[in-house]
Structure 1
Amino acid sequence: MLQEEIERVQKLHPGARIHYADYFGSATRIHEDPEKFGFGKATINRACCGAGGPYNYERSAVCGRPGAVACENPASYIKWDDHHYTEAAYRVIAGDVAKRYRYDWFGCRAKGLDSE
């Protein structure tokens, strides 16, 4: 369905360059094997910034509000809060997308999921 819509828009605007990348697939691979990418196994389902509980998430004390505390080592976490990834996770995701689609969008080479 999405691919069909991209093709339709491309036909409407033949001079436009449309780039599609599977962000979700990259994020899923991190969740499947977090230690491979330097994330702590104990942190896979916990937010770095939160207010306690099994997932370090409390709706009444979201990150940035009173009661929420950031972890000491965000680079070992996949999720920053209940909605956002950490900088470290975004770096791996972006590197994977750039590597899989062989498109050097930003003029740099980032570490992808297949990197050793």
Structure 2
Amino acid sequence: MLTQGGCPKTTLSIKDALEALEGRWKLLILFALSSGKKRFKQISKDVNGITDKILSKELKNLEANQLIKREVHDTFPPTVEYSITEHGMSLEKVMDELHFWGLKHRDKIMRE
């Protein structure tokens, strides 16, 4: 079935998904948050190699796509925690499949 502009619906839905998750870090951030609420520095430690500037940018993007939630607690200094939303958790099967594919891929490459 075609949509406006002649693009198949499946192409548009895959494009939308890739745009929401594009880049090297977003799935790793979601994976880090899948174990529970975390503060910025905890996420930074869990996502090895990411800079604070990039992490900040990616968190804002994930929040804009409603995949994570940012909570500011009324403390001094303010405490900020990030958590994965129900919508973000709907990617759990995708992340699991990517994990298993990555293991198989690494094993295949290492054997050859």
Report the TM-score, using the length of structure 2 for normalisation. 0.24
Q: Which has the higher helix share?
A: 2
Report the TM-score, using the length of structure 1 for normalisation. 0.23
